Copies of this chain bind each other. A is one copy, B any other.
Amino acid sequence: MVTAMKNMPQATKPAFSESELAEFASKGRQILALLKSKGLYKPLKTYPARLEEGRITYGEGRPITAFEKFLGYYDKIANIANSPSISIVTDFSVARCFCKYVSAAGMDRVVLDGESDERYTKRSVKALDKFREITGVEGSFQFSIVRVKKYSKAKGLGESAAVAEATSRALVGNVFGDAAAKDNEYVSRFARLVSGSGTRAATGGMSIWASFPGIGEAECYAARLPVDTSKLHFAVFPDFHNIQTMDAHGIASSSEFYATWIKNKYDRVLKLIGAGFDLEDLMRYAQADTFRLRALLMSGGVAIDTEKSLSLINAVSSFQQGGGRVWLTADTGPSIVVMSDDKDELDAFVSGQRSRPIYGHVPELTGLSPDAAAMAKATDFFNSIR
């Protein structure tokens, strides 16, 4: 099934006006101040670096499903987003990462699911360069990452966030020790360097990443929100498209509609804070933002939906018209998450669908203890690097 234009032209940087940038910075500061006043955003602790040649550490990461979506970086090196964003962590997959420290420079390596991965290596070296610049540590870091998924093939299920969290957790543990690796905000800050969405993965549950133009790099991490996610029932209908490489950030931020999207996102986040992060508001906003995100991509000629995802979108709409309490959310892929604050409503919706979804949960915090077989396999990989 063909779903979108291939080989889109290279995206360009969005042209925010000076007054827009000032407005975003002002509202971003306001959001940060509100979160701080509610005790949600705390200053980061500091941990001393203790490097040890050949040390291997382990970290896990979970994927995210976005509510208030994020696309577009203000600072592409430090991964500062143009806007705040909100997501939940899910258990649709897990990323498991081993990290080895090597004191020699120029030895950064990444193996993903048993294979060297050009894309992840490149992204990793960029992130590590920034990490070394920030922390002052020297030497190289080698990563062996395995993704375990509950589905065979899908796009838009937040795997890159899981990888970002896992690598950051293993890296932070390696350099700063176990206490730092268990400090979710600390892990969040460095997960951001790998992938923006990883910032929110690291803090677990429902989290906000209050990024904005002009925020300091050291302030730029996510905060867990006081949302009882045990009341959130959800299931995903995994789906994939054949868009080989899609620069969703570039396409969206090149849209003439992008500035309006960012501007209104600040206002929505302020409203959500004002209403105490009401779950129904969050779900309703997530559905509306799903369509806006698709609109941004569509305005650049990219359609990410499939016949299956369009059918699900239609089914959710019909269910809502009939008074049903389910909402949908999706990221930059055709996989559709359907959710409710009432399990019976979700079940009723699901029972009316031809395809079977995977029910999800917001997991407890991810582990730091590897299994022995995985450790042995990772050690083999590290030994193979000369």
Question: Inside 8 A of A303's CB, which chain B residues have their CB?
Answer: 294, 303, 305, 310, 313
In the complex, what distance in Å separates the CA atom of A264 from the CA atom of B160? 35
| A245 at interface by CB-CB < 8 Å | no
A285-326: CB near B (< 8 Å → 1, else 0) gives 000000110111011110101010011011111100100000
A155 to chain B, nearest CB (A): 15
Would you call B5 and A317 a contact (CB within 8 A)? yes
A11 to chain B, nearest CB (A): 14
A14 to chain B, nearest CB (A): 13
Number of A residues with CB within 8 Å of any CB on chain B:
36
In the complex, what distance in Å separates the CA atom of A380 from the CA atom of B7? 58
| One of B292, B298, B301, B314 near A4 (C-beta < 8 A) | B314
Would you call B5 and A314 a contact (CB within 8 A)? yes
| A47 at interface by CB-CB < 8 Å | no
- Highest count of chain B CB atoms <10 Å: which of A1, A292, A298, A315: A298
Q: Are A7 and B321 also in contact (CB < 8 A) when A256-B260, A256-B292, A313-B303 are? A: yes
Would you call B260 and A310 a contact (CB within 8 A)? no
Q: Are A3 and B310 also in contact (CB < 8 A) when A256-B264, A303-B305, A317-B301 are? A: yes
Question: Inside 8 A of A255's CB, which chain B residues have their CB?
Answer: 295
| A16 at interface by CB-CB < 8 Å | no
Q: Are A2 and B299 also in contact (CB < 8 A) when A7-B321, A257-B260, A321-B7 are? A: no
19 contacts between A and B (CB under 8 A): A2-B315, A4-B310, A4-B313, A4-B314, A5-B313, A5-B317, A7-B321, A255-B295, A256-B261, A257-B261, A291-B299, A291-B300, A292-B299, A294-B303, A295-B296, A295-B298, A298-B298, A303-B305, A305-B305
